[in-house]
Structure 1
Amino acid sequence: MVDWVAVVLAKKEGTYGVDSAPTAAANAILTRNYSAKPVDMDRIERNLDTRVFGALASVPSNERRTSGYEVEIAGAGTAGTAPAWMELLEACGMAPPLVTVGQDAVQTFAAPGVAASSLSQYDFLSDQRRKAVGMVGSFTMDFTAGAYPFIGFTWMGLIPTVAPFDKSAPGVPDLARWKQPVEVNLDNTDFLLDGYAPALRSWRADAGVATVMRNLVGKRYVRRGNHSFTSTAVIEAPDVATKNYIQSLRKGDLVAWSIEHGVTPGNIFQASSAKVQITDITESNEDDTLMWTMALRHTVEGGAADFTITAK
């Protein structure tokens, strides 16, 4: 029997697919809702004509490692220091953060043609270690009133040839990099859409990063391609005389969007997009209050950054 005690270590690779050897002392991730497959794979079906009914054996092919977990959104504790989760976002297509000492760390999606970042990740269940290299992924974000905000990651990587599965305890993980977040609420969180601050129930985003296993003769890797950042805001519907989002939807307007969370320097998260489209509005009832679920598309129209994070 193996106890369900999950520890995840992840470290940025210097060269794609070359094990960066993450350690418990420097690279532990404070996760929640961890899930994984020890091996994910395709099956080759032979589809032979036989003289009997029944299934034929398939052949394993294109094996890989997939996993997922969530991390809480909080600052690094000191303004001008990049939070630990920014390194994970790099492996999901974002550029390394631009750090201004004592002030902030700013992160946007990397431009096409820029060398892609990847992770080596060791997952431990009790003393059972599973290794993956060349790991890249996508992410979601969730800011829901009355809860802590978090990022959800999904990963795909290669299974190394040397000791991919073995018995090895992780040691004592140092989680000092991971600070406690603050609740999403009236005091800690500000949300703006086209210059107006609606009453917000939740904002959830999906980076939509494309990841696919490329299994070729002479080359095998996980390809991270384009992304399409979208989000959903659930708000109390404003009076159209106060803010006419219906007109913005009908015209396809491009509007500014932002969220700021936290009030203490070193634990402030900001995100913004210059040109967002409202693409759908669905109405619902909550406590006899008209609610809108608004679908948002974060665009790069005119060369704008579709999503910018600032930790300060």
Structure 2
Amino acid sequence: MAVRRWRKLAMLHKLEDIYMDDAAPGDADAIVATNISFTPIEAEEVSRDLFMPYLGNHGVVLAAEYGKIEFDIEIAGSGSAGTAPKYGSLLQVTGMAETVSGGEIIYSIIEDDVPSGTLYFNSDGVQHAFIGSQANVQMTFTPKQIPKFRFTLQGMLGDIEDAALPAFSLDGWTTPLVVSKANTVMSLHGAGSVAESLTIDLGNTLTPRFLIGDERMLISDRKSTGTAVVEARHLAEVNWFAKARSRERGVLDLVHGTVGGNIVQVAGPAVEIGKPTQGETDGIANYSLPLSFCPVSGRDELTITVR
């Protein structure tokens, strides 16, 4: 019998019209990902713990079964300003609404009626379906590297079956730009930043609920955080220690890309600076700044704009 190769795989993702109603994603719903960690079944093992006239392992039963997958997606535009990127359905199941405004696609936080999705993961001919799925997302911007989304998606178990790999291409997926001075501009608390990295975590808590009368995956909490590593400058330029001690809130704004169709902006209007720590890279002093993304009027602590 033929062996199955790990690198021959495909992922398809589509929003569900009705929760846990398999959306049957097709070739047009393909997701191009990297750095994949796949857990086919998560479950609680309930021991039978039988008393018998002899010793031994009497087995377990599996309860609260669901699946989990983590993967990276390159941060880039859709190739055409005003057109949603192919990864848009994934951002929506993290609890972000997708709004078209002129030549921009804006992703903003929602808490009610969060969409769910169906994910097909086909590993060289064996297909796993996760239904009713929701997710968390992290973002990483590091110079000389491709910026990445890191999705953690959990869903209820659907069918597991032999199925041919779908046929899809890179159509609709834009070649990304590396993070650099030419491609990326970042400001924090009004100060233009010379930064070594920026990481952001939307901070969703994904909770599998298995009850009498209802089973679902839901986002039960959210605390958005991040870390910026910036060059350490004199206090006259920017005093991160004073900002941390005063609990001042300020704007974070990062724009990656310069040409319409391949620009992604990440912004937070009220970001607190945590306890700075000092380090160095290449003999140059830097500060690692913990970030807390705080809401202003609610559900507005973080937005992603693609244009």
- Shorter-chain TM-score bucket reads over 0.9
Give the secondary structure class of the aligned counterpart of 1:255. Answer: strand
Kindly provide the CA deviation profile for residues 262-288 of structure 1, in whole angstroms up to 9, marking residues without a partner as x: 001110111111100001211112122
Distance 1:191 1:304 in 2: 22
- Amino acid of the residue matched to residue 200 of structure 2? A
The equivalences for 1:1-16 within 5 A come to: 1-4=3-6, 5-16=8-19
The structure with more strand, counted as a fraction of residues: 2
> Is the contact between residue 269 and residue 296 of structure 2 (CA under 8 Å) also seen in structure 1?
no
- Amino acid of the residue matched to residue 304 of structure 2? I
1:155 maps to what in 2?
Answer: 153
TM-score (norm 2): 0.95
Give the secondary structure class of the aligned counterpart of 2:174. Answer: coil
> Is the contact between residue 109 and residue 299 of structure 2 (CA under 8 Å) also seen in structure 1?
no
RMSD: 1.5
Q: Gaps (5+ residues) in structure 2? A: none
> Is the contact between residue 99 and residue 106 of structure 1 (CA under 8 Å) also seen in structure 2?
yes
Offset of residue 303 of structure 1: 3.7
> Is the contact between residue 81 and residue 260 of structure 2 (CA under 8 Å) also seen in structure 1?
yes
The equivalences for 1:158-169 within 5 A come to: 158-160=156-158, 164-169=159-164
TM-score (norm 1): 0.93
Do the aligned partners of residues 304 and 238 (structure 1) sit closer, same or farther apart at CA in structure 2, a change above 3 Å counting?
A: farther
> Is the contact between residue 6 and residue 34 of structure 1 (CA under 8 Å) also seen in structure 2?
no
- Amino acid of the residue matched to residue 32 of structure 1? T
1:209 maps to what in 2?
Answer: 204
Distance 2:232 2:49 in 1: 56
> Is the contact between residue 198 and residue 238 of structure 1 (CA under 8 Å) also seen in structure 2?
no
1:199 maps to what in 2?
Answer: 194
Distance 1:263 1:107 in 2: 19
The equivalences for 1:36-47 within 5 A come to: 36-47=38-49
Give the secondary structure class of the aligned counterpart of 2:106. Answer: strand
Single out whichever of 41-50 and 136-145 deviates more from structure 2.
41-50
Distance 2:85 2:285 in 1: 37
Offset of residue 52 of structure 1: 6.2
Confirm whether residue 284 of structure 1 aligns to residue 279 of structure 2: yes
- Amino acid of the residue matched to residue 135 of structure 1? S
Give the secondary structure class of the aligned counterpart of 2:222. Answer: coil
Kindly provide the CA deviation profile for residues 150-209 of structure 1, in whole angstroms up to 9, marking residues without a partner as x: 10111111112xxx1111113311331211110100000001001111211100111110
Distance 1:59 1:137 in 2: 27
Kindly provide the CA deviation profile for residues 42-61 of structure 1, in whole angstroms up to 9, marking residues without a partner as x: 11124456676664422111
Kindly provide the CA deviation profile for residues 64-123 of structure 1, in whole angstroms up to 9, marking residues without a partner as x: 11111110011011111111222211101111x21124x21111111x3x2110111111
Dislocated runs of 4+, deviation >2 Å: 45-56, 301-304
1:108 maps to what in 2?
Answer: 108
Single out whichever of 300-309 and 9-18 deviates more from structure 2.
300-309
Between the aligned residues of both structures, percent identity stands at 28
Count of residue pairs the alignment pairs up: 304
Distance 1:262 1:6 in 2: 30
Distance 2:166 2:66 in 1: 26
Distance 1:206 1:47 in 2: 41
Do the aligned partners of residues 286 and 54 (structure 1) sit closer, same or farther apart at CA in structure 2, a change above 3 Å counting?
A: farther
Distance 2:123 2:297 in 1: 47
The equivalences for 1:92-241 within 5 A come to: 92-95=94-97, 97-101=98-102, 103-110=103-110, 112=111, 114-160=112-158, 164-241=159-236
- Amino acid of the residue matched to residue 250 of structure 1? R
Offset of residue 301 of structure 1: 3.5
Give the secondary structure class of the aligned counterpart of 1:231. Answer: strand
Give the secondary structure class of the aligned counterpart of 2:208. Answer: strand
1:82 maps to what in 2?
Answer: 84
- Amino acid of the residue matched to residue 247 of structure 2? G
- Amino acid of the residue matched to residue 173 of structure 2? W
Do the aligned partners of residues 58 and 218 (structure 1) sit closer, same or farther apart at CA in structure 2, a change above 3 Å counting?
A: same
Offset of residue 213 of structure 1: 1.0
1:57 maps to what in 2?
Answer: 59
- Amino acid of the residue matched to residue 100 of structure 1? S
1:70 maps to what in 2?
Answer: 72
> Is the contact between residue 256 and residue 263 of structure 2 (CA under 8 Å) also seen in structure 1?
yes
Give the secondary structure class of the aligned counterpart of 1:180. Answer: coil
> Is the contact between residue 273 and residue 291 of structure 2 (CA under 8 Å) also seen in structure 1?
yes
